[in-house]
Structure formats: C-alpha cells, structure tokens
Amino acid sequence: MQDSWDKSINFLKMSVEVERKFLCNADTRKALEQIGVCVGQRQFQDQYFDTPMFDLTLRNMWLRKRNKECWELKCEAVDGTEEMSRQQTRAVSMCTQYKEITSLHEIQLRLKEVLKTNSDCEANSLQEDECWLGEMNLVPFAEFITERWSYTLEEDGVQVDLDRADFGYSVGEIEVLVPEGGNVKSALEKIERTAQKLGLTGNQRVDGKMNVYLQRNHPEHYAKLLSNNII
C-alpha cells in the first residue's frame, strides 16, 4: 500500500514533456522566424545507456547522460486525455509524451525497481563514482553530439528546437513541458496551433534523432523496437 502511494507521489513530482517532431525546410524556418525569437544556440553530447539485452529501451525507458554530467530518465507517460474530439486524437497521434526524471536518486530507485537489481551504490554527483552503472549492468549504446537552435514563441510555454546531430540528421521539435498534474490536453492544443502556424501538413510521425541513430547503428534492435510499437 505504502509502495503504491509512494509511486503515485513520485509520478506527481515528475514533469511530462509533450513533443511533436517535424522536418524543417526553408518555409518552416521562415514561419518560425515570424512567430518566434531565437533565444540561443548550443551544443551538447548525449550518451544513452541500457543493459546488453536492452531491458530499458524495450520498456520504452531512455537513460541518458548529457554533457558528461546531467542524468535524465525518460519513461513513456500515459496521457490523461480520455474524451477527445477527432482533431484532438490526431494531435495525440502526432506527439509523444514522456515523464522526465532528473534527480539521480529518483532515477536509481526507478531503475532498481525495473531491473530488479540490488545496487548498494548511493547517488553521488561525482562523475567518477558511477559504480551503480556496473551493478545494474548498464553500458553505453549510443553517443552523439547535437547542435541546437532554440526558439520561444508567443504561444505561452511553447519552445521550438531545431537540432542537427553529428551523424547527419536534422529534426525540429515543438515542445511543451507540463508540470506536476498539469493540463496535457492544453499542451496538445498549443502544439497543434503552433504546427499549423508553421505550416506543417504531414500526418505521419517524424523520426527523432535516436530512431535514425538506431536504424544506422543497431538495426536489429531498431527492428525489435518497431515491432513492439515502441518507436
């Protein structure tokens, strides 16, 4: 009982990232410059970890270390949009929703639960002290550098990022971060309005960087994720 209560509390403490990917052409970029302001350009390195049998990603869980210091675990979020119009259903199908956990301690608790390991290593911010990775049998399976241009929009809380990965793939994303128990429906509507303003007409989900990375570097695992409807 206590356990499920703790899990509910943990769920409430997480934010949910609602996101729609798109391919950016000259027209989209022009529209973006009109409705948004470029607030910065930066570069970051991402390393993704999993067990050799891919126990995390096969559960749609993505463990990442950014710039050799910031840990993040993204887990699929079940949306709270029960009654939806046809347009809303379409908006949901074009977007992904992931819970984001950024506290290393919370990440380790969640991983212990999922991987059923007994790691005794404490969360430690010192980067060299990562014995927990070994104890949980976690190894890097993807590593790449992204160059990102970020835009804020007049639409409240909407951010657009244009990413170029070092393995030769570019993708844009419209993103709204929904805090603890916030309104996912409203986030989906904001994303849909932004997509219309950018002139995005396609009704097929666009590949993220990881999808393309896996297709090229781990094709067998990519096929497995695809057949399990994970990507």
Q: How far apart are CA 48 and CA 15, in angstroms?
A: 20
Which phi and psi angles does 149 have, rounded to 5°?
Answer: -110, 125
Residue entry with tokens 């096929």: 223
Strand 169-178 relative to strand 70-76, pairing:
unpaired
Beta bridge partners of 52: none
Provide the mask over 126-155, with x wherever binding to ligand V4E is found by CB under 6 A and - wherever it is not.
--------------------x---------
Tokens of 106: 């919370």
In total, the chain counts a number of residues equal to 231
Q: Of 50 and 155, which has the nearer Cβ to ligand V4E?
A: 50
Decide whether 46 or 155 has the Cβ nearer to ligand V4E: 46
The reply on whether position 110 binds ligand V4E by CB under 6 A is no
Stretch that binds ligand V4E, among 31-39, 85-93, 176-184, 204-212 (CB under 6 A): 204-212
For residue 177, state whether it binds ligand V4E (rule: CB under 6 A).
no
98 binds ligand V4E (CB under 6 A): yes
Burial of 180 (0-12, 13-18, 19+ CB in 10 A): exposed
Binding of residue 218 to ligand V4E (CB under 6 A): no
194 in contact with ligand V4E (CB under 6 A): no
96 binds ligand V4E (CB under 6 A): yes
Residue closer to ligand V4E, measured from CB, 131 or 145: 145
Question: Which amino acid makes up residue 197?
Answer: K
Q: Which is nearer to ligand V4E, 81 or 135 (CB)?
A: 81
Please state, in angstroms and rounded to a whole number, the distance separating the CA atoms of residues 119 and 109.
10
Span interacting with ligand V4E, options 4-12, 118-126, 182-190, 205-213, rule CB under 6 A: 205-213
